[in-house]
Amino acid sequence: MMRQSRSERKKGLFSLLGIWLAGSLWAGAALGAKTTVSVTPVFYREVEEAARALQAILTDVRIMKMLPSDKGGYDPARLPLQAFVLGPKTLTLRYKVPRLREGSGVIYTRPVPLHFSTQTPEEVEESKTFPLDRVKLSSGLMAPEAKDPTWSLWVILPGPAGLPDITDLATSSRDTAETLYNVLISLMAAARNPQVPQGKVPASLTFEKGGAGHPAAAPPPKLGFSVVPSSGGQGLGVTEVEKGSPADKAGLAAGDILLAVNGTEVSAVRQLPALLKPEENILTVSRGGKTIKLKVVTPVSF
């Protein structure tokens, strides 16, 4: 095995440092360029209510990623969320990123050399998981500005060597951004995050079921599917069905087009919470040119 020279090791170290520094400087510039608008938290009464609110705005939420540029270096990109998974004290966001084709060498730019990569039309799935009992939120919403016409907020975690791990989430409107903020702060409160004052948190907002002297209630069953607006303009496209979930047992499959819920046609994700019933739901879907009906028996949940 060939041993690296001291100069090669230094070059590699500076390259990694430069990549981290570029991302950090961009993040700092983004926060500094935008005006921060304070938000008074409005807590949801239950975790399920917060989850429904997040499902209703999911297609309007973007996650920021630093992706390699065709010209060398890294550029920020806003990627749409595909789905989310809510655990007892975790929130996982799922999204897709362009697959990268690695170049044959290194482009030397100032101040440090950066590896060359190009994006392809293919996409790969990625996810980001937040431990709800440890995350922090930015002090408010960051208002739009000329270079970034979105409302955004930050989810912050302690990173390696004391460096913060910052996730930038953005939406198209202030109302949606406030909903996102209230969902996150409510889920943090339910996880007993020490950053959230518990004085104004509803007692019902908790991941814990039952109390002292009471048997713990079983967690509510999940429907177990995710949807996005259909590319054909009719209904909602089913993007994911959790294996073993009530939706899976009912026969719902990824690729189906959800046309109606309990006899009411659907064309927007935000319609679902009001249409779904606590016990039995009839889903009308289009599959392979045929229209079929599926019975799903569960409380409302995503």
Cβ partners under 8 Å of residue 232, min gap 6: 257
Higher pLDDT, 251 or 74: 251
DSSP labels, 234-281: SSEEEEEE-TTSHHHHHT--TT-EEEEETTEE--SGGGHHHH--SSEE
Q: Does domain 34-200 have CATH number 2.30.29.30?
A: yes
Cβ atoms of residues 70 and 95 within 8 Å: no
Structure tokens at 76: 């920020």
Q: What is the pLDDT of residue 27?
A: 46
Strand partners, 148: 145
Computed over its alpha carbons, how large is the radius of gyration of the chain? 22
pLDDT, one tens digit per residue, over 201-214 is 998 999 875 443 33
Q: Which amino acid is at 246?
A: P
CB 56 within 8 A of CB 166: no
Q: Is 251 left (phi over 0), alpha (psi -120 to 50) or beta?
A: left
Q: Where in the chain is the domain with CATH 2.30.29.30?
A: 34-200
The pLDDT of 174-184, averaged and rounded, is 95
Calpha distance 293→285 (Å, rounded): 6
More confident residue, 14 or 291: 291
> What does DSSP assign to residue 135?
-
Q: What local confidence, expressed as pLDDT, does residue 33 receive?
A: 59
Could you tell me which residues are beta bridge partners of residue 11?
none
Indicate the fold that domain 225-297 takes in CATH: Pdz3 Domain (2.30.42)
pLDDT grade for 29, boundaries at 50, 70 and 90: very low
Classify 68 as helix, strand or coil: strand
pTM of the model: 0.57
pLDDT of the residue at 16: 36
Please report the pLDDT score of residue 269 as a whole number. Answer: 81
Angstrom distance (rounded) from CA 211 to CA 224: 27
CA 71/CA 78 separation, integer angstroms = 19
Q: Name which residue leads in pLDDT, 119 or 127.
A: 127
* Among 263, 262, 242, residue whose Cα is nearest residue 254: 242
The DSSP element (H or E) to which 136 belongs, if any, is strand 136-137
Query: What would the pLDDT profile of 266-300 be if each residue is shown by its tens digit?
Result: 888 878 877 877 668 899 999 988 999 999 876 54
CATH 2.30.42.10 domain position(s) in the chain: 225-297
Q: What is the pLDDT of residues 211-253, one digit of tens each?
A: 433 344 444 446 788 888 877 678 898 988 888 788 888 999 9
pLDDT of residue 26: 43
Which pLDDT does position 119 carry in this prediction? 56
